[in-house]
Amino acid sequence: MKVNGKHYRSVWPIGDDAFGIIDQTRLPHEFVTLTLRSAAEAAHAITTMQTRGAPLIGAVGAYGLALDMRRDPSDENLAKVHDMLAETRPTAINLRWALGRMRDALLNRPRDQRAALAWAEAAAIADEDVAMSKSIGEHGLKIIQDLAAKKPGQKLNILTHCNAGWLATVDYGTALAPIYLAHDAGIPLHVWVDETRPRNQGASLTAFELGGHGVDHTILADNAGGHYMQAGQVDMVIVGTDRVTANGDVANKIGTYLKALAAKDNAVPFYVALPSSTIDWTIADGRDIPIETRSADEVLKMTGRLPNGSVALVEIAAPGSPAANPGFDVTPARLVTGLITERGTCAATPEGLRSLFPKA
Ligand code: MRU
């Protein structure tokens, strides 16, 4: 996608010994790119959320591992770097999927070839993610077209939570990909953007993306979505996900579950968009998904621009009060209208997923 007229992916190779990312902790106030030169730097970028979003951290983990194969291509180091990167964030399965794919591509291959093989495999993971996102967009577009046909001459109102756009993938996004395609196809639409406390990925990143693409949108306090659903001002919800279990349960950014409950109560269709790299076939119950606990500081403090133009971190809570900060929650499959994947849309059921991925 474009930033100030220049096309960017959210991760890109620089020669064959470094790669670039956008520092997402600086958005929307500043657009800053970073050059990463080691697996340790990649791990740091993932942990601090300079780079985030389930598919994107998979690609960044893959490039990080590839860099370390230049330094030491031994089996021991491959296992060590794999495990070090896998531990950076626990909920998004894409990270483990990408690292596992890298390991499988390198084990049993000559050591002197591993660095080049790893670099090519990381690039393939990134390119395939772009293709999957584009395909998700096309399948989601059909759903948007059907809903828009029921509201001729009126804007379709779509609510989304967190950031599942091009900044969370390598390009296009998952939940936002159908929205971009619908906008480009001339379908009139408006997006309600949940601010997504505590880190504000909606207000900071999704709004940045939609504004950059010219999509009409409004930022909402997280608690306001139910109100607008009751008022008939939400036609559909689309969110991304960090892990979908084999029975269709969906882990996504904390607060997603409450939106799904409100959507169910108001008969608003609730769709989840994902590449197949987000499906965890080994888990059949969302309660078994590990939920990341993040720092209390994310709840107690907030970053913003001050009137003098500088960006600062400020305290927003009563001094001394503790805070809890689960990063994700699980939306049970029964609340999900459909899963939009690169192979089409299916029911959030074991049969639905199997119908699209019979060999998985
Ligand atoms: O903690 P984050 O910002 O990495 O969480 C991101 C999300 O929850 C996204 O919705 C999810 O990763 C899907 S991104 C296509």
Write down all domains in the chain, each with its CATH number in brackets: 2-128 (1.20.120.420), 135-356 (3.40.50.10470)
Q: What is the pLDDT at residue 1?
A: 83
Distance 154 CA to ligand 1 centre (A): 30
Q: Return all residues near 103 (Cβ < 8 A) that are at least 6 apart.
A: 78, 79, 82
The residues assigned a catalytic role are 242
Output the CA 163–ligand 1 centroid distance in Å: 6
pLDDT beyond 90 at 5 = no
Amino acid letter at 129?
Answer: D
Residue having the nearest C-alpha atom to atom 15 of ligand 1: 164
Q: Rounded distance, CA 165 to CA 253, Å?
A: 14
pLDDT of residue 136: 98
Pocket test for ligand 1, best of 133, 250, 253, 295 (most atoms within 8 A of CB): 253
Q: Provide the mean pLDDT of the chain.
A: 97
Confidence check: pLDDT of 141 > 90: yes
Residue from 208, 252, 342 to probe ligand 1 pocket by mutation (most atoms less than 8 Å from CB)? 252
Write down the pLDDT at residue 233: 98
What pLDDT sits at residue 29?
Answer: 96
For the chain, the residue count is 360
pTM for the model stands at 0.97
Residue 50 in this model has a pLDDT that exceeds 90? yes
Q: Whose CA is nearest to atom 4 of ligand 1?
A: 53
What are the CA-CA distances from residue 192 to residues 162, 267, 308, 327 (Å)?
A: 11, 17, 29, 21
| CB contact at 8 A, 167 and 53 | yes
Closest atom of ligand 1 relative to the 328 alpha carbon: 8
273 C-alpha vs ligand 1 centroid, how far in Å? 11
Identify the pLDDT of residue 120.
Answer: 98
Q: 89-138, pLDDT tens digit by residue?
A: 999 999 999 999 999 999 999 999 999 999 999 999 999 999 999 999 99
pLDDT of residue 124: 98
Q: Which atom of ligand 1 is nearest to the CA of 162?
A: 10
Protein residue with its CA nearest to atom 2 in ligand 1: 53
For residue 2, pLDDT over 90 is answered with no
Q: Can you list the positions of beta strands (E) in 182-316?
A: 189-194, 217-220, 236-239, 243-245, 250-253, 270-273, 279-280, 301-305, 311-315
How confident is the model at residue 278, as a pLDDT?
Answer: 98
Secondary structure class of 191 (helix, strand, coil): strand
Kindly state the average pLDDT of the residues 23-28: 97
Q: Taking CB atoms and a 6 Å cutoff, what residues make up the pocket around ligand 1?
A: 52-55, 92, 162, 164, 168-169, 174, 201, 240-242, 252-253, 327
pLDDT of residue 232: 98
Among protein residues, the one whose CA lies closest to atom 6 of ligand 1: 53
Query: Quick check: 208 and 177 in contact, CB under 8 A?
Result: no
Q: What are the pLDDT digits (tens) for 265-287?
A: 999 999 999 999 999 999 999 99
What's the confidence (pLDDT) of residue 53?
98
In 24-166 the beta strands, taken as DSSP E runs, fall at 33-36, 156-160
pLDDT in tens, 214-266: 999 999 999 999 999 999 999 999 999 999 999 999 999 999 999 999 999 99
Q: Which of 201, 256, 274 gets mutated to test ligand 1 (max ligand atoms within 8 A of its CB)? A: 201
Please tell me the distance between residue 150's alpha carbon and the centre of ligand 1 in angstroms: 31
Rounded average pLDDT over 295-314: 97
